[in-house]
Structure 1
Amino acid sequence: MSIEALLQRDSFIERGARSRAEALLDPGTFRELVGPFERITSPWLAMQNLVTQADDGVVVAKGKLDGQPTVVLAIEGAFQGGSMGEVGGAKIAGALELAARDNRNGIPTQAVILFETGGVRLQEANLGLAAIAEIQSAIVDLRRYRPVVGVSAGTVGCYGGMSIAAGLCSYLVLTREARLGLNGPQVIEQEAGVAEFDARQRSLIWGLTGGEQRVAAHLADLCVADDTQEVRSAVAGLFARGVPAVHRSERIDDFLACLERVDTSAQPTPAQARDLFAKGLE
């Protein structure tokens, strides 16, 4: 990309959660639900003398995308690493449940989830895990009627239980800068040792969990540039496809068959991992 093109680019990554949600919806249709002025904050962070945020790091917006009723759920990665607690998780799950109810009542509401999250908020432990489980259940319910499109742009990535939520989405869009994995690099290094995974090797991290790799391995559907209009067009195009005949999460046997072919006598390279899944899931 030329310098001029870079200067003219409208970076999606550089936007905050609220700005990302508004940018995806048709102009003039953005309406925030349970916003910061409601002052519904986490009761658990304050008990631990941690600063709360008025929206608990989750933006719920209702509007239209290409004229279709749409709810956008945007996680603010700058607050507590985008971690999921009781309040933020309830906002996402509740919005998805209402969207499913809309569909049952004849209103074809679709959903976009903007993932910038390290997973569960450790300070809220089981409450956060329960919230993530509710999100996952709500995604599976809604995707029967209308697509649920997940987007992870950067810079936090998508990890932990929320990576499972991303895997349950009808479609998943990533940028080159995005990362998707169950465990983060530091966690893997801490638990398995630096010989298993060196969290300082950025090329290794993106080579295994980056957006291009995940799309090549059929763990995501599209890898797009960090451009707001390109992200919006990708999301709109995926909605236009309708509900997939088979969701990725239903291809369990296919993914297990790929894993069974892994040679565990040596550590696979990113290229080998890509080829393994690309050929097995064509």
Structure 2
Amino acid sequence: MTDSARLLRQHSFVELGARQRAQALLDDGSFRELLDPFARMMSPWLAQQGVVPQADDGVIIAKGSIVGRPVVICAIEGGFQGGSMGEVGGAKMASALELAAQDNRKGIPTAAVLLLETGGVRLQEANLGLAAIADIHAAIVDLRRYQPVIGVVAGSVGCFGGMSIAAGLCSYLVVTQEARLGLNGPQVIEQEAGIEEYDSRDRPFIWSLIGGEQRFASGLVDAFVADDIQAIEQQVQTLLLQGIPKTQRSGQYEWFLQRLARLDTGPQIDPATVRNLYQGEQP
């Protein structure tokens, strides 16, 4: 039985590890991991703070193809340090995207898929992680001029912090029911604004505001799919074949700012208010 056949017996995409997710999306037999765990590219900072490092620093980089087209996949392992981005993992991701852009300039049309399960910057590495995330942002903007950069937020970690900006810079964004997407995580908002403003333990409330279905209904992502390997695979293939979007979402910032200016921040926000806020034709 091939690796793809084994994966298809496991229907849930969310329950797969980052490496398995990359394998599931790539054409059968095309998966090739770069800087795998045997390369021992791990954070030099975690052990100094009493944290056990991981040999791939929680970021899997794979080359291969999707529907026969060259693709690089950057998959973040949400089970390691909450998918946080440090110096090494961030450098792996940024470098992979930069090399994909170089491929395009050499006539090799390489696209990218980002599997985003991350809380943002790794607190133990602070500014080093922030610098790495900034490099990722720049690399996405460079690459998306040539080929689509497709982000997938499946759950259950979600996508927050500086990496939510990376998600917003993607050409297309795919989410599931289990996904969450926001600049600040629920616990951070509760800590800063108080539990009356945002109760991080109220799961229905959290998902009603920043969950995948709500983000799709608000027009902040491009596709809402079931937690199913084949469904996500087909959606990624469809978006890849669509090519570069006519207008990047990040280029529509004036429209979004105009909408946000209408928001009354006095009363507690609710899901209906969020959806109504983003109704109307986008540029």
TM-score, reference length from structure 1: 0.96
Root-mean-square deviation (Å) = 1.1
Deviation at 1:241, TM superposition (A): 1.0
Query: 2:211 matched to which residue of 1?
Result: 210
Query: 1:17 matched to which residue of 2?
Result: 18
Query: 2:261 matched to which residue of 1?
Result: 260
Q: Aligned partners of 2:269 and 2:126: how far apart in 1? A: 34
1:20-169 → structure 2 map (5 Å cutoff): 20-169=21-170
Query: 1:180 matched to which residue of 2?
Result: 181
Q: Aligned partners of 1:21 and 1:226: how far apart in 2? A: 15
Query: 1:193 matched to which residue of 2?
Result: 194
Count of residues in correspondence between the two structures = 275
Q: Aligned partners of 1:9 and 1:230: how far apart in 2? A: 13
Aligned-partner residue type, residue 264 of structure 1: T
CA deviation profile, 1:167-223 (whole Å, cap 9, x unmatched): 000000000100000011111001000111111111110011000111111111001
Change (3 A) 1:143 1:53: same
Q: Aligned partners of 2:65 and 2:282: how far apart in 1? A: 34
Q: Aligned partners of 2:48 and 2:227: how far apart in 1? A: 38
Unaligned runs of 5+ in 2: 1-8
Query: 1:272 matched to which residue of 2?
Result: 273
Unaligned runs of 5+ in 1: 1-7
Aligned-partner residue type, residue 274 of structure 1: R
Deviation at 1:9, TM superposition (A): 6.2
Answer whether contact 1:152 1:173 (CA < 8 A) is retained.
yes
Secondary structure of 1:250's counterpart equals helix
Query: 2:226 matched to which residue of 1?
Result: 225
Identity %: 65
Q: Aligned partners of 2:258 and 2:268: how far apart in 1? A: 18
Answer whether contact 1:217 1:274 (CA < 8 A) is retained.
yes
Secondary structure of 1:179's counterpart equals coil
Q: Aligned partners of 1:51 and 1:280: how far apart in 2? A: 49
